[in-house]
Amino acid sequence: MFQRTKAYIDSLRERQNLYVFSVCALGVALFAAFVNAPSFSLNEWVLLYALVASVVVLNHLDFQLPPSGTKQSMDSSVILAALFVHGLDIVLYVLLLSYGILAAIRREVALWKHLANFSMYVIMIVATSSVFAWTGGRIGTLEVTSVYIYLLSLAVYFFVNTSIFGGFHVIQGKPAIKVFNGVFKESISAYASTLLLSLVLTMLFERSPFFGLFLFMGIAVLISKSFKLLFELYHSLSERAIVDQRTGLYNHSYFEEALESRLNASKKTGDVFSLVLLDLDNFKKYNDVYGHLKGDQLLEFFGTQLKHLCDREGVVVARYGGEEFTVILPNVGAEEALAYANHIRKRINDTYFEGVELFPHGCLSFSAGIVQYTLDIYDKNQLVDRADQAMYYAKAQGKNVVHIYNEDSILQRTLDIEQDIREIEQQLNIFLSKDVYTFQHSKRVYRYAMELSDRLTLTDAEKKTLVLGALIHDIGKLEIPRDVLNKKGKLTNEEWEMVKKHVLWGKEIASTNEKFKPLLPLIELHHERYDGKGYPRGLKGEEIPKLARALCVIDSFDAMTTERPYQRTKTFQEAIVELRAHAGKQFDPEFAEAFIAMIERGGFDWSEDEERDGRDASPTNPAAG
């Protein structure tokens, strides 16, 4: 894998170098082909030097455009105005002398970059000059009746510039449409103003070349300074919007965006990353004793230390809220994150702050939970929830501890499964007056899950999650109107879309109870398909959490083998044939075969249980499952 990555990087670097070399070669060749030996008058030499000085000054006064920070200068206005009034020859010499001076002044910039910039400008100017001449443009006088010629020439200048810049990004492997769309959107307004200002300078050149250039330079300098101040203001406001003012770290909103972005990137690439959630130990006690002002100073101190200790490329450190902080570690697994967090913890322990003698450990400390991204995680809230569970388990061990999320350890502090089942059944009892079928369906799926969980290689926590998830998976149907749930005829498209929303409604209902959060993926995703054609997210293969894939098999089997008005009830054997036919399409093949093996072993007749519950076993819902 490493060798393939290195080979790709080497290949990419070669393509980039070849592209830059090609631009330089083309620019130098065009310069040699179009430049003539200088035969300027004294007045033209003076003007040439004035133009060179203007280009160098404006290049030095470049500014950045919000929001992306794209750099822009107004030297193009001078170059284009000189082209329209004095022709290509003088402009080529202006470029040669300007970039010679810039190369001497900015020696920290590699010489090939100066050459690449010079070559790019030559290509743009030669292309613009050719179009200007071809469309009938006349050097020396701005003809208002032929203004379209100037506008077309300016458009060519912009197009060539965008093409050269965009081409470099495409060479890097970025989508061409996205690149050119981004470049166009970022630079069109600034380029439009710069190019139109070249026409203003053209008119000034006609009246008084030197005074016109002096007047334009004054305006250009003021505009450049104004844009610079605007960007600094924008940057300051943007920073305030994403930075926590107390600690100087990123704030909660930025953390949410960064985590979402990292999660989406890892889904595409498969790259691992870890999330660390830290909580400052005994902070409330410190606040109570020393007051909120001193508490705020402690938070500021801790944030500064954390930022310093997490000075690593790509790491995002944020204040999550109160005395809680987060660290996103890209390309870092759980074990490496554990070592990293423990190193920070020990450094914090050794860092003195006034009043830490109050703490039980006699020093500043934190407890932290770590969770590593895995393919079954589909939502950023899962990561935060797991990190939160691990953090609280760290606190349960006496604080000043870092703990990796582990479902078996989480199981130790959750309520007994029988108590959880009783709570869920109290919710399901509402179905007795609304939809008897869904109640019975949920109980059957729960019993199947109990049997299947013992046949799969699952941890105790996973077994508990599968069983409880099976029992509560259709809780969202409580939100569906009674007349839709009990409709005898076929559902309309609108009614079917409503029924499909039960997975989202169920997630909302279950999320109100903290200890049911591990069940949310099963509630929301048990209608996803292995081939990616399910709902609500259209997840595919192992993007779907494994317990949701297992529940999909159980849920579908019970729906097929239960009598419903608009679907012929299948026998167990017919349903097994269906499972095998759709394994790899709708169902995970591994879980489908495990469930089939369980069914073929026999012993599944729920009729006595349903009668014992005192419920009518005849179904009424045509859209169950």
Residues 233 and 263 reside in one and the same domain: no
As a whole-number percent, the residues of the chain with pLDDT over 70 amount to 82
Chosen domain end from 355, 382, 405: 405
Same domain assignment for residues 105 and 143: yes
**Amino acid code (one letter) for 444:** R
616 pLDDT more than 80: no
Q: Mean pLDDT score of the chain, rounded to an integer? A: 81
Q: Is residue 538 part of a domain?
A: yes
Q: How confident is the model at residue 227 (pLDDT cuts 50, 70, 90)?
A: confident
Residues 203, 125, single domain; the answer is yes
Beta bridge partners of 403: 369
CATH number for 444: 1.10.3210.10
Average pLDDT over residues 378-390: 88
Contact 623, 492 (CB under 8 A): no
- Direct distance between the N- and C-terminal alpha carbons of the chain, in angstroms, rounded to an integer: 43
Separation of alpha carbons 129 and 199, rounded Å: 15
Task: Report the chain's C-alpha Rg in angstroms.
Answer: 34
Q: Are residues 91 and 223 in the same domain?
A: yes
What is the SS3 assignment for 36? coil
pLDDT at 595: 92
Please determine, for residue 144, whether its predicted confidence score (pLDDT) is greater than 90.
no
pLDDT at 610 over 80: no
pLDDT at 411 (0 to 100)? 40
> What pLDDT is recorded for position 251?
92
User: Above pLDDT 90, what percent of the chain?
Assistant: 30
Chosen domain end from 206, 241, 276: 241
Do residues 287 and 227 share a domain?
A: no
| Closest alpha carbon to 218 in 67, 7, 115, 74 | 74
Whole-angstrom distance, CA of residue 266 vs CA of residue 399: 31
CATH number, position 263: 3.30.70.270
Instruction: Establish if 610 belongs to a structural domain.
Output: no
In a domain, 114, yes or no: yes
Q: Are residues 335 and 420 in the same domain?
A: no
User: What per-residue confidence (pLDDT) applies to 185?
Assistant: 62
Whether 614 is covered by a domain: the verdict is no
- Tell me if 572 is assigned to some domain: yes
Q: What is the pLDDT of residue 187?
A: 61
Q: Verify that 443 and 346 share a domain, yes or no.
A: no
Residue 247 inside a domain? The answer is no
Judgement on whether residues 221 and 269 belong to the same structural domain of the protein: no
Same domain, 185 and 64: yes
Rounded distance between C-alpha atoms, residue 147 and residue 132, angstroms? 11
| pLDDT higher than 60, residue 501 | yes
Measure the CA–CA gap between 277 and 389, rounded to whole angstroms: 10
Are both 146 and 258 inside the same structural domain? Answer: no
Tokens of 279: 């909580």
Of the listed ranges 150-154, 230-234, 263-267, the least confidently predicted one is: 230-234
Contact (CB, 8 A) for 81 and 205: yes
pLDDT tops 50 at residue 371: yes
Contact 349, 363 (CB under 8 A): yes
If one compares 385 and 225, the residue with the highest pLDDT of the two is 385
- The pLDDT of residue 354 is above 50: yes
pLDDT for the residue 615: 37
Average the pLDDT over each of 208-217, 241-250, 419-428 and give the range with the smallest value.
419-428
Domain finish residue from 210, 241, 272? 241
Residue 74's pLDDT band, with cuts at 50, 70 and 90, is confident
Q: What is the pLDDT of residues 452-498, one digit of tens each?
A: 888 888 887 888 888 888 888 888 888 888 888 777 778 888 888 99
Q: Structural domain tally of the chain?
A: 3
322 lies in the same domain as 369: yes
Pinpoint the alpha helices (H) of 454-588.
Answer: 460-472, 482-485, 493-500, 502-510, 520-525, 546-560, 572-581
Range of the structural domain that residue 352 is part of? 252-405
DSSP letter at 318 equals E
pLDDT > 90? residue 232: no
Same domain, 135 and 156: yes
On whether residue 623 sits in a domain, the answer given is no
With respect to residue 2, please indicate whether it lies within any of the assigned structural domains: no
